Amino acid sequence: MEETLDMYAEPFDPRRPVVCTDERPCQLLGDVLEPLPIQPGHARRIDHEYERKGTCNLFIAFQPLQGWRHLKLTERRTRADFAYWLKELADVHFPDAEVIRLVLDNLNTHSLSTLYDVFDPAEAHRIARRFELHFTPKHGSWLNMAELEFSILARQCLKQRVPSIEVMQVLLDAWQQPRNAHQSTIHWHFSVSDARTRLASLYPASLS
């Protein structure tokens, strides 16, 4: 926990960017009956009945010190999807970084070994060397700022029914583009000192 908090307190270093990543499933739902449009004095009205259209997965990369985020849709959430996500981060979004310090939770697919499931050993090794993984502790995924971005996304964008991946992509683009343009970010205030005070019970008795 403390190493993550220390990283959050550091100034921006483009050679060693701190990037928070997470993923979440999204259910695709369609309307059985056409919603009634907005009319004077009446909001748009939606019938309670809906049709399941399947699911998709959403990856997010969030760089808090730059106020930048990128969302990627995939049909599934597998080890291979995570491997391709790492390659995209390394080669597309942070090609000039010496090392990408990635904050993530302990999901079983979150491992550099996934690269060797997808790429040949030389390519897997090349990509793996670009990353330094920093896992949040068990029951401590709230330390990952990507979760906060997902929470904002859910409140502002995902309360409506989304019937397809194509529509989902349009909604995500419409959400992230203005946030990136304005460099909207999260102002993190929880420090190592705060952790030792508020979470004293989690520390060894000799340090509390």
d(CA 184, CA 31) in angstroms, rounded, equals: 33
Residue 193 in tokens:
């000192």
* pLDDT per residue as tens, the chain (208 positions): 888 898 999 999 999 999 999 999 998 876 555 655 766 766 665 656 667 778 999 999 999 999 999 999 999 889 999 999 999 999 999 999 999 999 999 888 899 999 999 999 999 999 999 999 999 988 888 899 999 999 999 999 888 888 899 999 999 999 999 999 999 999 998 888 877 887 777 777 655 4
Q: Whole-angstrom Cα distance, residue 76 to residue 182? A: 31
DSSP state of 18: E
Q: Are 86 and 127 in contact (CB under 8 A)?
A: yes
Instruction: Tell me the domains of the chain and their CATH numbers.
Output: 2-188 (3.30.420.10)
